[in-house]
A and B are shown apart, each in its own frame.
Chain A
Amino acid sequence: MKQAMPLTITSGRVVTPGGVEERDLLCDEGLVSEMQTVEDDTVFDAAGRIVAPGIVDLGVFAVDKPAFHFGGITRAALMPDASPPLDHPARIRFTAQSGKPDLWVHPLAAATAGLEGRQLAEIALMAEAGARAIATGRRWIGDSGVMLRLLQYAAMLDLVVVTHAEDAGLAGNAAATAGEMATRLGLPSAPVEAETLALARDIALAEKSGARVHARQVTTRAGLTLVRAAKARGVAITAGVTPAHFMLSDLALANFRTFARLSPPLRSEDDRQAVIEAIAEGTIDVISSGHDPRGPEDKNLPFADAAPGMAGAETLLAMTLTLVRDEVIDLPRAFDLLARNPARLLGVEAGELAAGKEADVLVLDQHAPWVVDSSEMAAAAGNTPFDRQPVEGRVVALFKGGVRVDK
């Protein structure tokens, strides 16, 4: 399917890990090419706009192509929490092909059979079938013995384990973080130590086993302190977050708004500030959407009965750009968080505009204004906690393997 014709994107401001360069970008045979010009190529005039790597979204719960393309996402790592779970090589193989050619889906292998946290799944076979990493799913693995054996096995296979850091005993049936907001609303809540405890154990076991662990969402000051210290010791741990936890605090739960029901739940304002600091200094490596479209049957319910999750794919880039606008990070770092770092964790040759990498490219009108509208989303459902929020930054063209896919 790859376009035989070479493609040149002209007059762009090309985002590379080293900086933003005003130059043309040549793509040949689906890859970014070193050459500057060739004969007979297709030309796309970026007209001074940002040219950046397509987003690699590490940890989505649904393959939702319209939303991904709207948001500039060219690769999505799918969480194993499907029904049935992605715990079998055949399902991995099928899923890995499901989006091609214009969206690549990287299925994450379920760590345990049925995601029940008891018995290791056939991880090596799933890796051969196309799984790029392992994930524990929405839940954490409560049995530390199982977790250690999983991490030892993953280390042997050199696969990253994507974890959910929430101690199940403390979290219970919590729908909010313990604090004033949960108390006023009368919602079942769990203390932030649910995250701290889970991270502390996973870090200890990562250190022992030598496995690479990616905590998909680290959302508290205490949790980020643990990750920072572990990284300083040389533990192979990375941390991610979704925009919800750097844009919103638990005040968003007011009036029992179920679009703000997330897992892990929204935290205090102090924790939100800690997440922003951690993004700025590099403790957080990945920003992902956690895309989980949920219709009214899951969301038009009393708060605690509603399903957690948000449709995040369309707003991922715009929300991350607020950090650029506020000078928390610069553009190259934004695309490290959105594309380069997740691509490295998944071991795919993409996520940066360097010669030889896959020509997954987005063209961004960085300051184009728009308003998030839950009733007019490209996603399968409009459950965004950012409804009615004015934002900046729209993808105006998207290329997968050098082929335009957004038209």
Chain B
Amino acid sequence: MTAPEPRPASDCFPAGGRAFPHRDLIAIGALERHEILYLLAEAEQYVAFNRQATKHSDRLAGLTIINAFFENSTRTLLSFEIAGKRLGADVVNMHAAQSSVKKGETLIDTAVTLNAMRADAIVIRHGSSGAVGLIADKVDCPVLNAGDGQHEHPTQALLDALALRHKLAERGHTAEDFTGLVVTICGDILHSRVARSNILCLQALGATVRVCAPPALLPEGVERMGVETYHRFDDALAGADVVMMLRLQNERMDGQFIPSPREYRHLYGLTAERLALAGEEAIVMHPGPMNRGVEIDSGVADLAGRSIITSQVEMGVAIRMACLDVLTRRARGMAGWAEPEANWV
């Protein structure tokens, strides 16, 4: 089985490295619409690739990728690890639980250490907003943000967009973006980096975004990000084309934000009855891990034809392969990608 060839320079995107003139992937907020579309387009080849029986490429052979996770993770770490390995890179996982590597002097030292080991890309998850950008400033190789505090989780937003686009294409929609689509994001918006990245990504692609949560879980000023805010879930669902559920991030809560999970489910749980309030054939998404019976009922999570939760996981590997591929092109000396650093934005 051979690796897919790099896509020919499409007339949709600027040529070579100008299609994605960033060294790192830290935040959706730093990307232009066409750069998001470019990453999605690049990921398509890997969706097909990953569905083959044998899925191995040597495109990143000889490169070392370090997954440095300062916060616990199962699915994101696994997804990045599989992505790196399928591209033939040497993938090393560094588990640094938040308890052992706690304060920043160590964080900077860790960054310098990783850099000295001559990694070719570093994937970082950290519990503090801005921490990944801080590390990126100290290293010489591309850095991918796998989630920093309550700030951003860019690959999650990209994989959500890819999964959504695939589902829409299945239903016969041919548009490359989400113009006219109404997406309702419901749950713990305050503590969610997934919500922030998704708001930015979906809006960049033309969707109208609604956010819904009890007041204590809705960050002040979020409407200034251009979203419509709701406290009543039923209102937020009316006419929605997509319903994205988020879990309660109890581990980030400092104090009590809701009376009980039971009461939360009563007000904000996505049940079959509630889903009927949304647009006809509304699509159900969840970044996982799910708390079945709290924010989403099993019947909805597993609803054939409507729920794309497992597709989100599948697209995650393809998106991460595309990101690793694109960000290492300069180091691999790919034609048209050897732009000097000065051209990075």
> Is A184's CB within 8 Å of the partner chain B?
yes
Chain B residue contacts of A18, Cβ below 8 A:
none
Cβ contact within 8 Å between B107 and A186: no
> Is A301's CB within 8 Å of the partner chain B?
yes
Q: Which residue of A lies closest to B134 (CB)?
A: A302
Cβ contact within 8 Å between A187 and B150: yes
Cβ contact within 8 Å between B193 and A301: no
> Is B105's CB within 8 Å of the partner chain A?
yes
Chain B residue contacts of A306, Cβ below 8 A:
104
> Is B125's CB within 8 Å of the partner chain A?
no
**In whole angstroms, what is the CA distance A181 to B196 when docked?**
12
CB interface residues, B 6-52, toward A, < 8 Å = 29
Chain B residue contacts of A345, Cβ below 8 A:
none
CB interface residues, A 143-185, toward B, < 8 Å = 172-173, 178-185
Cβ contact within 8 Å between B220 and A186: no
Chain B residue contacts of A98, Cβ below 8 A:
none
**In whole angstroms, what is the CA distance A180 to B193 when docked?**
15
Chain A residue contacts of B29, Cβ below 8 A:
184
Q: Contacting A180 at CB < 8 Å: which of B103, B133, B151, B221?
A: B221
**In whole angstroms, what is the CA distance A172 to B128 when docked?**
16
Cβ contact within 8 Å between A189 and B220: yes
Chain A residue contacts of B126, Cβ below 8 A:
302
Cβ contact within 8 Å between A302 and B219: no
Q: Decide yes or no: A185 and B151 within 8 Å by CB, A180-B225, A297-B105 being known contacts.
A: yes
Q: Contacting B129 at CB < 8 Å: which of A178, A256, A296?
A: A256
Chain B residue contacts of A189, Cβ below 8 A:
219-220
Cβ contact within 8 Å between A305 and B219: no
Cβ contact within 8 Å between A302 and B128: yes
Q: Decide yes or no: A301 and B225 within 8 Å by CB, A186-B196, A191-B220 being known contacts.
A: no
Q: Kindly provide the distance from the CB of B155 to the nearest chain A CB, expressed in whole angstroms.
A: 16
Chain B residue contacts of A186, Cβ below 8 A:
129, 148-152, 193, 196
Chain A residue contacts of B108, Cβ below 8 A:
300
> Is A142's CB within 8 Å of the partner chain B?
no
Q: Contacting A301 at CB < 8 Å: which of B134, B151, B254, B255?
A: B134
Q: Decide yes or no: A304 and B128 within 8 Å by CB, A172-B255, A186-B151, A187-B150 being known contacts.
A: yes
Cβ contact within 8 Å between A178 and B254: no
Chain B residue contacts of A389, Cβ below 8 A:
none
Chain B residue contacts of A173, Cβ below 8 A:
254
**In whole angstroms, what is the CA distance A304 to B128 when docked?**
7
A-B contact pairs, 24 of them (CB 8 A): A178-B220, A179-B221, A180-B222, A180-B224, A183-B220, A183-B224, A183-B225, A184-B29, A185-B129, A185-B130, A186-B129, A186-B150, A187-B149, A191-B220, A255-B130, A256-B129, A256-B130, A300-B108, A301-B104, A302-B107, A302-B128, A302-B131, A303-B129, A305-B104
Task: List B residues at the A interface (Cβ < 8 Å).
Answer: 29, 103-105, 107-108, 126, 128-131, 133-134, 148-152, 193, 196, 219-222, 224-225, 254-255
8 nearest A-B pairs in the assembled complex, by CB-CB distance: A301-B104, A256-B130, A302-B128, A186-B150, A186-B151, A180-B221, A178-B220, A180-B224
- 17 further A-B pairs in the complex, CB-CB below 8 A; given A185-B130, A186-B193: A172-B255, A173-B254, A180-B221, A180-B224, A180-B225, A182-B220, A182-B221, A183-B222, A185-B129, A186-B129, A186-B152, A189-B219, A302-B126, A302-B129, A304-B128, A304-B129, A304-B149
